[in-house]
Amino acid sequence: MAETLQGDTGEWEIVIGLEIHAQIIALSKLFSGASTEFGAQPNTQVSLVDAGMPGMLPVLNEVCVEQAVRTGLGLNAKINEHSIFDRKNYFYPDLPTGYQISQFSDPIVGEGIIEIDMEDGTTKEIRITRLHLEQDAGKSIHDMHPSKSYIDLNRSGCALMEIVSEPDIRGADEACAYISKIRMILRYLGTCDGNMDQGSMRADVNVSLRRKGVTELGTRTEIKNVNSLKAVQQAIAYESRRQLEVLEEGGEIKQETRLWDSDKMETRAMRSKEEAHDYRYFPDPDLLPLNLESAWVKEIKETLPELPDQKKKRFVKEFGLSLYDSSILITDRARADYFETVATGHDPKIAANWVINELLGALNKQDLDLTQTPVSAQQLAGLLALIQDNTISGKIAKDVFAEMMDTSKDASTIVEDKGLKQVTDTGTIEALVDEVIAENPDNLAAYKSGKDRLFGFFVGQVMKKSQGKANPAVVNEVLKEKL
């Protein structure tokens, strides 16, 4: 649903386009053999090409090209078998050559489309304009010295995919849903790890306002390098309000690049927004045009995994899950695989409840992710098997699961060691029922006089006597007969 702002002169619509910069998962950089491993000591992963030394020639990394094609296919986009690398000229201290090798007129991937999921259960299609390959710049560090900036070129030359959307996004919630969906797809494909906190995925957020009902786009500002979903929300909220105040007072929005200051919680003007001609794009003379074979593209397409939307629809159709539960379970590939292992041979809805409510809830409390879970999918499936064959009750199963989280022991071991097997023997349960009835003559008389609600009291007393081990269904059946 479109997000609007109410001003004194009327209602305004927020219009957003996003440029996502995603670092490609590859062992070496786009045009050099230097390592891409995160966290190395500054300037230890820099080849002569990355440092912009004279006479050094770039050599294209085929793995990076394959990853870009995989991503384009995962975004339902057109793969351009002919593309060109251009030089984008600008000066910045962490760009040693004075230009960035990118793609401008002929990108490797053309128009595509993805579906985003909103919290109210609705979906919306967002168009993708293009995906192009480019090399990353280095990193400027401004907080290590009071009057100097430091340069780390480890990131210089790493392969980036810039994924550009159409201005189809109408608010901060849709923007976050779009970024989350792109990140989910990239992680499923294995083309980018999506770790925004490490800088391997960042977003440039283009924001403009227009009066509600108007189709013409307003003047936009670009907020550079926003590196978390929370920051995206905050930056859009601030910038849209700032623009509203300017427009309501009769002013004009300057087309400019702005930075998000998370300390002051505001956007700040960085520079006037450049147009394409400001960068003096021209084909890189050191790189031939990139021509892909259609058979090679087809081979890559055949290796694509089942993607999030396909998995979500299958979970609904095959397992009878709700859209909500399916959406939670397909958030990442490991979670979906975990669920499918647990669901094998068990009721899928019960399996989904245990994974979503018990497992993910317990992990969240301990600030762990699924890769750190003390309870494997096979172990959780073993716990469900004990419930299914009436070895333990659902209530006892929760206690067993808590013990599994603490010890990583199998459910069967815990049940055996603690003597938690469910009592299903009718004779034993009849004896317990007889005891409870004999101990509560007043409640028995009240029940027989029409106070049906007391049936629950008797069930509770029998369960208490059995220390929760009596099979509730058998208890109910025996009590009905005896009362």
Residue spans per domain, the chain: 4-300, 306-407, 426-482
Residue 86 contacts residue 282 (beta carbons within 8 Å): yes
Residue 470 contacts residue 462 (beta carbons within 8 Å): yes
Q: Is the pLDDT assigned to residue 204 strictly greater than 90?
A: yes
Q: Is the pLDDT assigned to residue 80 strictly greater than 90?
A: yes
Integer Cα distance of 285 and 272 in angstroms: 29
By the 10 Å C-beta count (0-12 exposed, 13-18 middle, 19+ buried), 64 is classed as buried
The pLDDT score that the predictor gives to residue 438 is: 83
pLDDT tens-place string over residues 23-76: 999 999 999 999 999 989 999 999 999 999 999 999 999 999 999 999 999 999
Integer Cα distance of 412 and 346 in angstroms: 17
Q: Is the pLDDT assigned to residue 470 strictly greater than 80?
A: no
Tokens of 77: 């986009």
Mean pLDDT of the chain: 92
Mean pLDDT over residues 359-379, rounded?
Answer: 95
Residues 447, 451, 453, CA angle at the centre, nearest 5°?
100
pLDDT tens-place string over residues 322-349: 988 999 999 999 999 999 999 999 999 9
- Half-sphere CA count of 87, side-chain side, radius 13 A: 16
Q: Which residue has the tokens 């059995």?
A: 466
DSSP 40-62: PPTTSS--TTTTT-TT------H
Reduce the DSSP state of residue 476 to 3 states and report it.
helix
Phi, psi of 119 (to 5 degrees): -65, -25
Q: Is the pLDDT assigned to residue 424 strictly greater than 80?
A: no
Spatial CA neighbour of 368 closest among 379, 359, 355, 381: 359
Q: Is the pLDDT assigned to residue 428 strictly greater than 70?
A: no
Please enumerate in sequence order all residues whose Cβ is within 8 A of that of 376, keeping only pairs 6 or more positions apart, or say none.
none
Cα–chain center distance at 233: 15
Q: Is the pLDDT assigned to residue 430 strictly greater than 80?
A: no
With bands split at pLDDT 50, 70 and 90, how would you rate the model's confidence at 425?
low
Integer Cα distance of 217 and 39 in angstroms: 42
Q: What is the CATH T-level fold of the domain 426-482, as seen in this structure?
A: Arc Repressor Mutant, subunit A (1.10.10)
Integer Cα distance of 252 and 247 in angstroms: 6
Mean pLDDT over residues 161-186, rounded?
Answer: 97
Please state the pTM of the whole predicted model: 0.86
Reduce the DSSP state of residue 150 to 3 states and report it.
strand
With bands split at pLDDT 50, 70 and 90, how would you rate the model's confidence at 1?
low
With bands split at pLDDT 50, 70 and 90, how would you rate the model's confidence at 174?
very high
Question: What region, left, alpha or beta, does residue 194 occupy, with left being phi > 0 and alpha being psi -120 to 50 degrees?
Answer: left
pLDDT tens-place string over residues 113-155: 999 988 887 889 999 999 999 999 999 998 889 999 999 999 9
